[in-house]
Every structure is written in C-alpha cells, then in structure tokens.
Amino acid sequence: MQAYLKLIKFDNLILIAIAQLCIKYGLFEPFDIAITLNGFGVSLLIIATTSLVAAANVMLYIENKEYAIKKENANAIISEKIANRLFIIFNIIGVAIGFYLSNIIGNPKLSALFIVVSAIFYIYATYLKEILVIKNVIIGLLMALALISVAIFDLLPAITDENRASQKVIFLIIVDYSIFAFTIVTIREIVKDCFSVDKDHNAGIQTIPIALGKDRTVKLISGLTMIPIGLIIYYVYTYLFSNSIAVVLVLGFLVAPLLYFIFKSWSAETNQDFKTLSLILKSVLFLASLSILQYQFILL
C-alpha cells in the first residue's frame, strides 16, 4: 500500500484537496457567494481533479521506470503493466466525474477541461517529454488548474448581472492564488530534479540540472523564487495593506520562508539539502492554502 501511495504522491493530493476545501469553505461560504455545487458536488470535484493529478504522477513514474527498476528493493517497485492500468483508471475516474459534474451544472462543455488535461499528459508522454522544462511547467499548471477548477465549476455558473461584481472579486482572488501555486510548484519541480539528477542522467532523461549543472540551476532557483515573493508583496500592498495583522501574517508565514529558502539554496549541495528545500516549498503551499481562511476576518 505504501508503494502505491508514494506512486500517486498521496501527500501532494491531500495538499490539493486542502487548498480546494479552503477556497470553498474559507472564501465562498463566509461571504455568502452564489455557488453551484453543494458539499457532495465539491467532493466529486476534488476526487476528479486529484484523480487526474494522480494519473499524471503515475505517468511520470512510467517515464522514469528505467532507473526505478534498479533500486535495491525491486519487490517494492510497481510494474509498468500495473502502473499503466492505474494511469488509465485514474484518467477514467477524473474524466467521467468531470463529465457528470458538467452536466449537473448545465454546462456539458466544461467536461472538455478534464479531457484536455488528460490528453496533455498523453501528448507529453508520447511527444513532448524530451523537451526541457515541459514537465516542470505541466506539473505547475496542474496545481493551478486544480485551484481554479473550483471557481470554474462552483462560481462561474452562478454569476448573474446582479452579483457579477462580487463574484469577480472572489474569482480574481482564486486566479491570484493559482498563479502563485503555479510558480511555487514549478520551482519545486526544478528542485526535485536536483536531487534526482544522477538517476535522471543514468536513465537518459533531460532535466534543467543536467542541462545547466547544479550550480547554475541553484542560481536559477534563487532568481525564480523572487517572482512569488514579488507577487506576495504586490498583493499585500494592493489589497491587504490597511490590515496590519494580515500583513504580518502573510510576511511571516509566506515571505519569510521563501527568503529562508533562497538563503538555504545558496549553500545547497547534497541531496538532503535539496529535499529540505522541497519541503520548505511544500510548507509554503500549505500555509498559502490556509491563508485563504483569513479573508473572512479581513474583509467582513
């Protein structure tokens, strides 16, 4: 069981689910926003989105199977045949539930979102996996889409001429969080490539650390991290500056860890160093999700 949970990266799926629940019950419910989905509908949406992300993680495992079979404990490795079946099963679950939800809200065309996401990873595995940076960006896009899908399925169908202004404010907040999540996840994927560089090299997989070298990649990571920091500072100055408590919380729990991340990255050399950096970014994602809960105390 542990091998299967690791295969689909269950901890990351939980993180996505928490973020989606924070949007639903920390942003929609407290502000009495017009919504489309009830608790059961949102549960189905979470299952659909996490299923597609699980399928993506399985596909990445299949792609990297060349070095996976070389691990010492070969009995713990899931075979390619089983992994392919799981990839198909998770895709079917995600697309089927997406189709069902789209029909529930009266907009069957939205089911195309799930089909497109599923197709993207098939195309990636078939044609695009040799292109540098594609994998990192796709994983970041998956996280962003998982967040914005809550707005697409729960918020947008309920927009009317009367509530358009208030719905737009909430929707833009979700878009901002989606952009932030995209940048953090993309950077984290580059960091993870750093501590698997030897395995990737042996498997013939082209990654940024292999193309640039670890030293240059570390500099790239540090530079890219300034993007989410800049986004946070701009966001605080634009929307939260009048609330000193919110400013302190955001700076203390989001900006400070990212600054610490940059500081730690300068001296990162070992695999353990890069795993620590990856953990810091995962913690930032978790704290960013929880920060959604503060809006009911700031804006109400």
pLDDT tens figures, 32-66 = 888 899 999 999 999 999 999 999 888 888 776 54
What is the average pLDDT across 222-237?
93
Domain boundaries, the chain: 2-298
Structure tokens at 76: 């713990």
**pLDDT of 217 above 90:** yes
User: In the predicted model, is pLDDT for residue 76 greater than 70?
Assistant: no
94-98, 161-165, 231-235, 269-273 — most confident range: 94-98
Lowest mean pLDDT among 51-65, 102-116, 157-171: 51-65
The amino acid present at 101, given as its one-letter code, is L
- For the chain, the average pLDDT equals 87
Q: pLDDT value at position 65?
A: 57
| pLDDT on residue 128 | 67
User: With bands split at pLDDT 50, 70 and 90, how would you rate the model's confidence at 73?
Assistant: very low
Q: Enter the tokens of residue 104.
A: 């529930």
Q: What long-range pairs does 88-95 form, CB within 8 A, spacing at least 24?
A: 90/8, 90/51, 90/52, 90/54, 90/55, 90/58, 91/51, 91/52, 91/55, 91/118, 93/47, 93/48, 93/51, 94/48, 94/49, 94/51, 94/52, 94/55, 94/118, 95/48, 95/52
> Between helices 271-291 and 164-194, what is the axis angle to 10°?
170
Please indicate whether residue 29 or residue 263 has the higher confidence score (pLDDT): 263
pLDDT of 69 above 50:
no
pLDDT of 71 > 70? The answer is no
Rounded average pLDDT over 222-234: 94
